[in-house]
Amino acid sequence: MIKEIVQFTERLPEKLKTEGLKPKEGLHIMLSMKQENSNWKIDTDNVEWEYYSKKDDEITDFLQKCMQLQINAWMIDTNKCFDTPTKAIHSCSPYCIGFKREHLEGGKKFEANASKNKVQIAERMAAYFTKALELVSKKEKQRLKIFENIFTSTEHPQYFLSLLSKNEKYKELGEKEYIVFYLDESLHIYQSVHERYLAEKLFNTSSYNTKIDNNRLIFGTNNFFNGFNSSMPFLLHQSATFDISGRISNEEAKRLFEFQQILPRKILPNPLPIFLYQEELQGKIIGLFKQSGYKISYKEIIETLWDKHKDFLANYYLLNYQDTKEGLVFNDFDFVSKFEYYLKDTAGYAWQIQNLFGKTNSYDVSTIFEFQNRVVQLIFNNQLVVKGKEDSWRYKYFEEIDEKYCKSARNRLNILKFRKAIYEFIYKSKRQAFTKPMFDEMITVSILEDIRLDKYENKQHSEYFNISKKLNIWFSLYEKFNNIQPQNSKPMASKLADYQQFVADIASGKEISATVNEEEFAFAAGQVIAFILNQSESSNNSYQRMEPYLQKGKAEHLKSAIAAEIARYKHKIYNYRGNPFKAAAAFVLSYDSEKDLKKYLPQLLAGLFAENQLYRGNKQNSENSIES
């Protein structure tokens, strides 16, 4: 992974590496030095300062200047700062000092330190400058002592505080906002000093650094997402014959650091495709992202490039990352041998969601992203793939999933169980990653939870449309995830019409074949149950009444439950013209099977929600008896 990221970062335009940067939120103060009678002093009459908030639409020229200096005066992380062990000063340059408001009088950290008799930040600034001044020459140290004295002088103690007190914005600063003092020097000077800081601090530890070679390269232990710590024995290999697994150069370490700084700014796509040997294509992707104002998604990039570059969308690494409160996190980094954009059946036709259960239109699912936004979005109730306002989309393949928005705890677990496989199926074209058993379980849980949560109010079922749409998806895509497809097998969508004809034949008194199977039995049982439930005079007419039937694993148990309900409503259900129900019920109650009925849950649900064939001859009740 390190090699690929280093090569990717080396090819990035220098301008892009600073794109999206913003100053630290807070007060930025620029001090300058002037020479009088061969002596240097701080020009206290010409202090510049500005306040910056992320709410500000524009960044002024002054703040742009401060931002460039800040970038080249800032620590890698708190483990590499000069203010040890408290880690409150986050700059790392003798030309700059930056810290948060909370560490000064009136701040929470200041009060906490006072209550515990701990040293305050003003008393630690001398130690900070001692380390920072090691980065410059002896001559420059003498001059910079003038800047240091603003913060550490005993003759004029805490002069910087009196300077701050003159600024109205200081009084309004939030606890977590920064106060950053800069000495007005050229960007080049800041950069050269920062390079010296980075040369040592970019490595995990200096203990394993090599001596500088003829190419000015130093090799040391990688600090990029590396938890190695030589001072903690429990983190070391106990049986290995070596202390470290390898080294990287200071140039590689710098590229990794740059990459780590770029990602949180959201100026690159996420997930990010990293092409190693296709610089032109990588350039086009970055160009598209820049043209969009850094808002175009990975999906839109693929869609834009597909027609002209589909043969080249292969052999790349895909990185998915998050910028969290705890820092940058890599969710996934994997090799994609070939990206497959279109979804086609064995005959070469686009996948299609058919209108099999009513109340919806048929539609094509011809691409992998249509599958994501039209199928996955619906199955997981808009909580994994989230459609927002104005057709905005959010994808939570690696984010926290809040149970309170998932309709139920079981729905949340359903998302957590299958989202990684779905991500690999969609984004990495790993067709074997998402299988038919996964698809069946995923959609079964979703439908059963809709049934359990249904409410019947004002003659409407709250979950009818959700269930019917999910059944359309299930039956339409039933065979699509079966990696071993039996030859000449009939699609489930086509079988539905056969099931309905089978029940219609029973209801009309036609003689049926002796080779009736469990699929036909389950569908017929669903039709009978739906008919019975429609006779109920209960105050609760929700789909929750189906649950006892759906939980039966044996034919005998299901038949017993049906027989008990028939006995309750016998006076109503045998009064329909031609008694179509009587014939269907007789078939269901006489059918014997020892097989596990849970395998035929799709057919049972289809019987419950498909147009009911037992109302033949009764126009008043010609529609599905339990739909809204």
In a domain, residue 359? The reply is yes
Rank 4-18, 417-431, 610-624 by mean pLDDT and report only the highest: 417-431
pLDDT at position 622: 41
How far from 237 is each of 209, 241, 264, CA to CA, in Å? 19, 9, 32
Q: Are residues 465 and 511 in the same domain?
A: no
Q: Which residue has the higher pLDDT, 242 or 435?
A: 435
Per DSSP bridges, beta strands 456-457 and 460-461 are antiparallel
Strands of the 314-324 sheet, one edge to the other: 272-274, 314-324, 327-338
- Comparing CA positions, the residue from 410, 478, 481 lying closest to residue 450 is 410
Tell me the pTM: 0.85
CB 326 within 8 A of CB 264: no
Q: What would the pLDDT profile of 484-500 be if each residue is shown by its tens digit?
A: 665 667 889 999 999 99
> What is the average pLDDT score of the chain?
88
How would DSSP label each residue in 333-352? EEEEEE---B-B-TTSPBEE
pLDDT category of residue 575 using cuts at 50, 70 and 90: low
In a domain, residue 230? The reply is no
Enumerate the H helices of 477-611 as residue ranges: 492-507, 518-533, 547-550, 555-568, 570-573, 580-590, 601-609
Say if residue 283's pLDDT is above 80: yes
CB 426 within 8 A of CB 420: no
Among 171-180, 337-346, 487-496, 547-556, name the one with the lowest average pLDDT: 487-496
Tokens at residue 249, please? 């150069």
Mean pLDDT, rounded, for 181-196: 96
pLDDT at position 570: 80
pLDDT at position 272: 93
Q: Are residues 616 and 512 in the same domain?
A: yes
Q: Which helix (H) or strand (E) holds 457?
A: strand 456-457
pLDDT at position 226: 60
pLDDT at position 45: 85
Q: What would the pLDDT profile of 217-260 be if each residue is shown by its tens digit?
A: 878 877 777 644 444 444 444 444 434 456 888 888 889 999 99
pLDDT at position 307: 86
Decide which of 166, 201, 236 is a domain's last residue. Answer: 201
Handedness of CA 609, 610, 615, 619 (dihedral sign): positive
Under 8 Å CB-to-CB from 58, ≥6 apart: which residues?
Answer: none
CA atoms within 13 A on the CB side of 32: 9
Tell me phi and psi for residue 171, to 5 degrees.
-70, -20
Q: Are residues 12 and 127 in the same domain?
A: yes
pLDDT at position 554: 95
If you search the block for the tokens 């008799």, which residue do you land on? 117
Say if residue 576's pLDDT is above 70: no
Rounded CA separation 296/267 (Å) = 10
Under 8 Å CB-to-CB from 317, ≥6 apart: which residues?
Answer: 1, 4, 273, 274, 276, 333, 334, 335, 336
Tokens at residue 146, please? 């003038």
Q: Which residue has the higher pLDDT, 322 or 38?
A: 322
Q: What would the pLDDT profile of 48-85 be if each residue is shown by its tens digit?
A: 999 999 888 889 999 999 999 999 999 998 888 999 88
In a domain, residue 485? The reply is no
pLDDT at position 177: 97
In a domain, residue 628? The reply is no
Q: What's 405's DSSP letter?
A: G
pLDDT at position 619: 44
Q: What would the pLDDT profile of 305-356 be if each residue is shown by its tens digit?
A: 998 888 888 999 999 999 888 888 999 999 999 999 999 988 899 999 999 9
Rounded CA separation 332/428 (Å) = 11
Counting every residue written for the chain, the total comes to 628
Mean pLDDT, rounded, for 574-587: 78
Among 116-130, 367-381, 613-627, name the one with the lowest average pLDDT: 613-627
Which amino acid is residue 11, in one-letter code? R
Q: Are residues 472 and 531 in the same domain?
A: no
pLDDT at position 245: 54
Q: Are residues 404 and 329 in the same domain?
A: no
CB 160 within 8 A of CB 73: no
Decide which of 443, 476, 509 is a domain's last residue. Answer: 476
In a domain, residue 222? The reply is no
Tokens at residue 263, please? 């990602």
Percent of the chain scoring above 70 in pLDDT: 92
If you search the block for the tokens 């949180």, which residue do you land on? 264
Straight-line distance from the first to the last Cα atom of the chain, in angstroms, rounded to the nearest whole number? 54
Q: Are residues 328 and 361 in the same domain?
A: no
If you search the block for the tokens 């179509």, which residue do you land on? 580
Q: Are residues 331 and 381 in the same domain?
A: no
pLDDT at position 578: 57
| Residue 350, beta-bridge partner list | 344
Mean pLDDT, rounded, for 152-177: 86
Angle (CA) 389 394 398, round 5°: 160
Say if residue 415's pLDDT is above 70: yes
Decide which of 289, 308, 338 is a domain's last residue. Answer: 338
Say if residue 88's pLDDT is above 90: yes
Question: Residue 463's Cα: distance from chain center in Å?
Answer: 28
If you search the block for the tokens 């309709």, which residue do you land on? 407
Q: Are residues 86 and 181 in the same domain?
A: yes
In a domain, residue 236? The reply is no
In a domain, residue 246? The reply is no
- Please state the domain count of the chain: 4
Say if residue 480's pLDDT is above 70: yes
Q: Are residues 22 and 107 in the same domain?
A: yes
How far from 572 is each of 56, 326, 535, 575, 625, CA to CA, in Å? 72, 65, 7, 6, 14
Rounded CA separation 393/353 (Å) = 21
- Comparing CA positions, the residue from 494, 407, 496, 398 lying closest to residue 445 is 407
Tokens at residue 576, please? 């329909």
Q: Are residues 32 and 178 in the same domain?
A: yes
Mean pLDDT, rounded, for 271-284: 86
pLDDT at position 475: 96
Q: Are residues 425 and 521 in the same domain?
A: no
Say if residue 358's pLDDT is above 70: yes
pLDDT at position 241: 41
Q: What residue numbers bound the domain in which 105 lies?
A: 2-201
In a domain, residue 31? The reply is yes
Under 8 Å CB-to-CB from 259, ≥6 apart: which residues?
Answer: 5, 8, 9
Q: Are residues 39 and 152 in the same domain?
A: yes
If you search the block for the tokens 């920062």, which residue do you land on? 194
